[in-house]
Amino acid sequence: MQFLRRRGGKVALVGVVILSVLALVLGTFIPVALASGEGETREFVLEASRFSYSPSRLRVNLGDTVTLRVRPQDVSHGLYLDGYNLKTRAMPAAPGVPGGEGVLTFVADTPGQFRFRCAVTCGPLHPFMIGELNVESGTPYTNAPFLGVAAATLLVGAGALAYVWRGKETNDGSAN
């Protein structure tokens, strides 16, 4: 019986190790899969006027396919996105001039905070015409399954340790 108990503990421990490795592998590769463009499709209309964007703070999740539509309201503006090295320019809509819109579409495959700024010299405060794109990799939704696996792994591990511990105590007792 003791032998069986200890053996059971060992099997449980091996299971824990396998589960841990699985959790690590999943945690490593699923964000990569997300980054290849399997997220949501997000579209933002950015009204650009001297010297700001509205909205100026954008938030997306890693793997989202993002479309930015830059619509100048007064003079020509543009948008250059740091990190992703993307650029667009547009002229304002005017009578006789088709409504200008600068469009950028890309997959948000790099997490982090990225500045975007005007790509057309539009006046004295042009250098301060900036905004921020936040590409988040750690949303609760993305990580919930892995947190679950991690919690289950911990529980199983604690159970296995308790099992082995008890088996050992009994063994030591009978050995004397």
Point out which residues bind Cu ion (CB under 5 A). Answer: 77, 118, 122, 129
Which of residues 109 and 132 has its CB atom nearest to Cu ion in the complex? 132
In the complex, minimum distance from the CB of residue 83 to Cu ion, in angstroms, rounded to a whole number: 20
What DSSP designation does 152 have? H
Contact 136, 60 (CB under 8 A): yes
Instruction: Give dist(CA 21, CA 54) in Å, integer.
Output: 45
Q: Which amino acid, residue 153?
A: T
Residue 133 CA, chain-centre distance (Å), reads 12
CA 34-37-42 angle, to 5 degrees, is 105
- Cβ 150 to Cu ion, closest distance in Å? 46
71 versus 77: smaller Cβ distance to Cu ion:
77
CB of residue 60 vs Cu ion: minimum separation in angstroms?
23
Sign of CA dihedral 125, 127, 128, 132: positive
Give the CB-side neighbour count of residue 24, counting CA atoms within 13 A: 6
CB nearer to Cu ion: give 58 or 122.
122
Shortest CB 42 distance to Cu ion, Å: 23
Q: Which is nearer to Cu ion, 62 or 77 (CB)?
A: 77
